[in-house]
Amino acid sequence: PARAAVQPAGGVPRLRLVAPDGATAAGRLAVRAVTELLELAAAGDWERLRQCAATPCTDAFVDRSRPGKRQFCSTRCANRAHAQASRARHR
């Protein structure tokens, strides 16, 4: 469970979700993920939430590139997908 708390941010009080005292790392991470998703939705960037195009990766990421055409969650996934495509072309 998360709780709401008022925390100062740049001298302005803001209502934030926080993990309860004594929460596990997984609990704190879950609260952080929900907070980030709510901020993403509030900013109107919901359509920039994407799923990695690399197989078998199922990670999600926020595409912050200017043209909004990013396909992979990381360079590791991009390199793996490009190497796989190269091997397929050379067969």
CA distance 1 to 48: 28
User: Which pairing describes strands 12-18 and 60-62: parallel, antiparallel, or unpaired?
Assistant: unpaired
H-run or E-run covering 12? strand 12-18
pTM: 0.63
Question: Could you tell me what percent of the chain has a pLDDT over 90?
Answer: 55
Supply the pLDDT for residue 30. 92
The torsion angles phi and psi of 55, rounded to 5 degrees, stand at -95, 130
| Region 18-42 average pLDDT | 90
Distances (CA, A) of 1 to 20, 28, 47: 7, 10, 27
